[in-house]
Chain A
Amino acid sequence: WPKSETSYSRGDDAGGSVKKHVGQIVLKAWAFAGLLLAIAVAGVYLLRSWFFRPLSSIREGIEAIGARKFATRLPLVSNNELGRLVAAFNHSLETLQELAVAGVVQESLLSEPYAAFGRIEVAAHSQAMTNLGGDFYSLTNADGRLLAVMGDATGHGIPAALSMAMAKAIMLFEESRGVGDGSRIMEQFNAVFLSLREQGSKDFMTVMSLLVDGKTGQAELINAGHPFPLLLRQGAAEAELLSEVRGLPPGFDRRRAFAPFRVSLQPGDCLILFTDGFVENIDREGRQMGFSGLARLVAQTACSDLRQHMARIFSALDLGADQRQDDCSMLIVRFM
């Protein structure tokens, strides 16, 4: 810094003082740089603790959701906007975890997917669109007879899952009392959904029951609003649609009598129950599968192993599907 000199300093002294002055300036510059560095380090520290900690915490949350690890909870590092975001993430994780748990519970409401007794072999499969599906099936061995029930709750998600849970409750109730026949089951469905409709519920369910005698192959079908079943005769090129099997869904008619439709199964014949997700399925070309498409598909994929038959049908469905609009479930009974 230029300094005003009011007196002339002596020559030999001047050199030394200039050198000293320069040294001081250099020292000051270093000190200034050091201080700036110290402040910058402090800034980085603050940046890390203020932004990067919460942000990395949120990032963990995103990754946890991606990896479906819903049990993860994020640490709450601050109490500002970012802290609230973390809290919201935890909330989301909680909801997702709950839905995942509900999914597990719901899955346990379905019967074992395969059973064989007497001359009957039966397989069922359900594929839900979301965590929670509205499709329902139940397989019960009632003294050598197979009681199979298939249901499809309207809508999807949690409301459908609630209907489906009630269907399971009906089945459990009846099982505990000792299963009578299909009409008894259907009466209970009717009673339950009638009661719900009276309480203002708009959700309902289509149900079909099937009772097959393990020895004779005599089958009794009762339909309540469900899609017509398919009958695949041994070696037939196309399954037969049993369009006579019809009826209103449960809860719409208080005084309805459930009269069964009887069909006699020959060895090798299959009776196929399914939900409307199949017929409404639209493939890549935009064609709806429809009843006839499904009838052909069922015949084409027929094979000796029932479970493999089921797997083929579902894989064909997957291949052709552009987007699945509804839950798809199927139940096949074969008489041998």
Chain B
Amino acid sequence: MTPHRSENTPRAAFYARIYLAVALFIIPVFGFFEGLSYLATNRREVAKSLAGQELIRIRNDLQPFANEERFLINSFTDLLYRASSPEDLGKMMAGFLSNAGSAALYAVFSDAGVLCADNFANATATHELLRNSGSSLKLIVSPFDGVARDKAIDNMRLLLGRSFFAPPFGSQQQAIAGSFFHADFADDKFRVWMGRASGLTLLIKLPTSELLASRGLSTFLRQTERHQFRFAIIRNGRLCYSDFPRSLVKLAVSELARESGKEFIEAGDSLFSITRIRSDALVLVEYRLPVEKIKPGKMTAALILLAGFAFAVFLRGTRSFRVDDLSVFAQISLLLIVSAGIPLAILAGVAVDYLFNKESALIREKNHQMHEFVQTVDQSLQGEYARFTRNIRRLASEECLKPFNPVSVKELFEKTHNVLKPVYTGFHMVRLAGPGDEKLPPGKRITSMGRDGNFYGSDSAEELNVELLGDYHLAAINGMPSPETSADRIYMLEMYFQKSVNMVLADMVKSEGTLGPAGWGSMNFLLFVEVFRRAGSKLYDLFLLTALDVNGVQEKFYMEHGAAVSRNPYGFRAFIARDHVLLNDSQRDLLHRPDVKALFWRVTDYPLPEPEIVEFEGMRHLFVGLRGKKADKIRFCVLFPVENIEKQIRQEALDLFYLAAIAGFLIFLMILILHFNLLLPIGRLHQAAIALENRDASFRLPQEGSDEFAEMAAIFNASMNEFEELKIASIVQARLLPARPLVVEGYSIYGRSQPMIELGGDYFDYFLIDENRFALLLGDVAGHGVAASLIMAMAKAGVICGRELQKDPAALLMSLHNIVFGIKNKVQRKVMTFQYLMVEKDTGGLVYGNAGGCSPVMFDPQTSKITEINHAGAVLGGFKKNSYSNLQLAIGPGQAMIFYTDGLVEARNEAGQELGYDGFYSMVADSYHVDAARYHERIMRAWSAWLGSSEAGDDLTMIVMVRNN
């Protein structure tokens, strides 16, 4: 069985090999590299995006600290709320001021107005004043406006400064000044701040110069952990603080200045951002990007080296490696890895990457949604304005157009008061003289109603202004010249609006019929102006002006709709506040919710370029904080837990995992199917093949199923049956050979035959002829197997039949020749060599006949001489006319005679060398022993040693006869 390779031409095989190398090695390696570099780029992008968010966050965090006034107020407020007693507050204040290195003066008063702690200069007149100022201060820090409060302010001026003034505070319980008050305009040395909470009142007198210090910033820098952030502060174009080298600051600032559209600049492994904290100060923030751990080039090179090393080790382990020679299991595994493993690995990589990117995409999407949500909530105020407009117009058109009389006017004003009660500040009607107006008091053309619902009693400045506006407006609408007015009144009006009367009129005409904001000096109003034509009048003769309190309207609207905003379908947490008042929460004042208050510090006027993530209630939240566009007095904070986004990602990851599990299960199923339908049967057949190799005839395969494997098993079993028969036949054949050694006095005789396969064609025998004679014979049928064994059996029978010829070797050979030749088969002609030796026991005389057999050798141990006994004779069955003759010889004492078949001399060892006659003769000479059995054994041992691991190519038979003394 010589191994055949497939008949591929070497060229095609070469191309196939190149293709396999490319497809199975280079492509995966390339894919690995691409995947890694893609992953690395993506991670970098995500890291940059995260860094951007962090920079935004830190910039926002910075704001309350950057403004010194706000920082101080926040600090004081914080202390005020944390203090448990006046003494405690005093101690904390002293600590804070000494920590900050501030020269500010403070005083703490109890609820009863008693001075409890202070650091004003003791035992002076000022201190005396301070001790007595408790009640005045309590009055100032209150919502009540009036003469008593004005007097209290007056009292305090002695202590605090001559220009001291404080507007009324928001509420009775908590009152926190939003800014420092001027104490003396002319000599601006000190500013004053006061606040009151939970029965404690705190008064601060701060040197004005300290407002320009940067204590807030340094506190911020102290608090912020610095391993990722670094800061530089630039004031008036000079670097006054820096965590990093000056050159880097310069580079970053100039880059940021050049690319003014960009929020961030990437330089080295850092992201820079700059923010203006004051008109004269900039802060440069650096965020150090995390070091990228994935290095595609190095990792791919390492993989190639590793794979190469493993392959080299593998090649060293196996002498000549061919994938074809791997076990079926290994081949199937390799195939699965190639056809399912590589694509699945790539898909898994894509999926992981998808999820990785999905999070940032979802955060962006959510952020966008939150912005839109804020805008929608902001825009909904327009509806409220429209509702007000409709209400006012409905009232006016119902009531104003009736002929005027005091009763109807009163009714109208009452109705108006009921509708607009909480929010309007003024409701005015100015009318020109018209029919049916006679009953009104002459000269009085304006009717006004104030906030409290009462008619204006006397000619107030406000009423005069509105009357003037009404006259002018009606005149403009009717196309009539403006009425003559005194310059005083025009001046008053212009003072009020802070712009020229013509501009005021133009604005009013333009926005007639709509509710819109109007600047009323430092005050803000929503103004609604409309003109009407009363029945019977050709001209517009009625001017209606309604001024609404903008804060009131917006606050009222969001208070009413805040709950609906909170219950939005997106799952957003929303907080709406005006000043310190939360509008959509039962907690009305932000002072009770420091965490929410901290959120409102982050509110900006414009959307941020990057999503902002904040810590809130111990969880990470996506945050949007915006001031209203429409509702300009309102600030919105919207939160969405990042957890929810992560949950969604987890859900998607879970879905992907299920898919992967299904894919894995399918592969497992495939392996099972392969196992049961291919590997298991092949394994069984393999067992059978091994059994056949080991010549174990009892092995049988289970014959089940009806596929190729069952067919193969059937063939195997049938083959095994034949094989078993051969085994039995070999035992039968062995019985044709002598069972016992021939025991003859004076001689030692031993013979043995060893067939190559079960049945051989070698035949040897020895027997006594009479008392003085015995015979040895050795035959060898050409070939082996069953056919040879048949001829061998015939020879045996022939020898028995020819017992009368046993003394004449030539005659016996002739008879045997007749038998072999008599087989009339032409196709499978069989020939046989045969030698026959008759020994005369006493004399050692030999009669030898040979029919083509290997010449036996005579060995004399005395002389160590080997003599070949050559005696020609044709093989049995060779030619029709054969003749044989006898050769007379003699064997001396101690001499040995050895018969053998050609299988012994024609054997080839591992190196492919043939033993040859000389080699065999030297073995015969070296192994001499007087006992034939030992002699035989020694020759065979030498022969086996020479053969090594290769196998005998023929049947081996040898007879050894030694004549003893």
A residues engaging B (CB < 8 A)?
1-4, 6-8, 32, 35-36, 38-43, 45-47, 49-51, 53, 55, 58-59, 62, 65, 73, 75-85, 87-88, 90-92, 95-96, 98-99, 101-102, 104-109, 132, 157-159, 161-163, 165-170, 172-177, 188, 191-192, 195-196, 199-201, 203
Contacts and interface: CB of A to CB of B under 8 A. Distances in A.
B815 interface: yes
Contact of A50 (B3, B335, B361, B823): B335
B719 A108 contact: no
A43 B736 contact: no
A296 B364 CA distance: 107
Contacts of B791: 105, 165
A172 to B, nearest CB: 4
A170 B797 contact: yes
Contacts of A50: 323-324, 331, 335
Contacts of A188: 800-801
22 contacts: A2-B361, A6-B262, A8-B261, A8-B609, A35-B27, A41-B23, A42-B23, A43-B339, A45-B16, A46-B338, A55-B708, A80-B328, A82-B328, A85-B686, A85-B689, A108-B828, A159-B732, A161-B790, A163-B793, A169-B798, A176-B819, A201-B732
Contacts of A166: 793-794, 796-797
Contacts of A158: 725-726, 728-729, 732, 759, 786, 789
Interface residues of B, number: 101
A58 B719 CA distance: 15
Contacts of B828: 101, 104-105, 108
A53 B723 CA distance: 27
A2 B362 CA distance: 10
Contacts of A41: 23
A169 B23 contact: no
A39 B24 contact: yes
Contacts of A62: 708, 711-712, 715
A46 B343 contact: no
B787 interface: yes
Interface in B320-336: 322-328, 331, 334-335
B263 interface: yes
A166 B52 CA distance: 105
A169 B325 contact: no
B715 A176 contact: no
B5 interface: yes
A267 B738 CA distance: 50
Given A6-B48, A170-B797, A192-B801, A96 B711 contact: no
Contact of B331 (A51, A102, A159): A51
| Residue of A51, A55, A92 with highest tally of chain B CB at under 10 A | A92
A4 B735 contact: no
Contacts of A196: 735-736
A132 B786 contact: yes
Chain B, interface SS category: helix
Contacts of A168: 794, 823
A268 B790 CA distance: 39
Contact of A4 (B45, B263, B328, B803): B45
A60 B768 CA distance: 54
A209 to B, nearest CB: 15
A75 B150 CA distance: 119
Contacts of B796: 166, 169
Chain A, interface SS category: helix
B786 A76 contact: no
Interface in B709-746: 711-712, 715-716, 719, 722-723, 725-726, 728-729, 732-733, 735-736, 738-739
A55 B825 CA distance: 39
Nearest to A195: B800
A80 B688 contact: no
Contact of A169 (B357, B692, B801): B801
B819 A200 contact: no
Contact of B793 (A2, A6, A84, A165): A165
Given A105-B823, A191-B803, A196-B736, 16 more contacts: A1-B357, A2-B364, A6-B262, A38-B23, A46-B331, A55-B708, A79-B325, A84-B693, A85-B689, A87-B689, A88-B716, A92-B719, A105-B828, A166-B797, A173-B798, A199-B739
Contacts of B735: 196, 199-201
A59 B709 CA distance: 10
Given A104-B828, A166-B796, A174 B801 contact: yes
A177 B815 contact: yes
A177 to B, nearest CB: 7
B342 interface: yes
Interface in B570-595: none
A162 B789 contact: yes
A263 to B, nearest CB: 28
A43 B338 contact: yes
Contact of B822 (A39, A90, A172): A172
| Residue of B16, B688, B728, B793 with highest tally of chain A CB at under 10 A | B793
A183 to B, nearest CB: 15
A182 to B, nearest CB: 15
Contact of A199 (B20, B364, B712, B738): B738
Nearest to B259: A7
Nearest to B610: A6
Interface string B777-799: 00000000111011101111110
Contact of A176 (B3, B686, B815): B815
Interface string B21-55: 01110010001000000000010011011001000
B612 to A, nearest CB: 15
B815 A81 contact: no
B27 A6 contact: no
A224 to B, nearest CB: 15
Contacts of A45: 16, 19-20
Contacts of B60: none
Interface string B104-116: 0000000000000
B830 interface: yes
A99 B326 contact: no
A84 B325 contact: no
A90 B19 contact: no
A227 B262 CA distance: 119
A70 to B, nearest CB: 11
B360 interface: yes
A335 to B, nearest CB: 27
A157 B725 contact: yes
B708 A191 contact: no
B348 interface: no
B682 interface: yes
Contacts of A92: 692, 715-716, 719
A173 B712 contact: no
A231 B800 CA distance: 34
B732 A203 contact: yes
A55 B328 CA distance: 12
B666 interface: no
Contacts of B716: 88, 92
Nearest to A111: B824
A203 B1 CA distance: 36
Contacts of B722: 95-96, 99
Interface string B1-26: 11111100000000010011011100
Contacts of B353: 1
Contacts of A175: 818, 822
Contact of A78 (B24, B263, B325, B343): B325
B801 A170 contact: yes
A201 to B, nearest CB: 4
A112 to B, nearest CB: 9
A95 B732 contact: no
B690 interface: yes
Given A42-B23, A85-B685, A175-B822, A105 B790 contact: yes
Contacts of A82: 328, 682
A39 B341 CA distance: 11
A153 B352 CA distance: 80
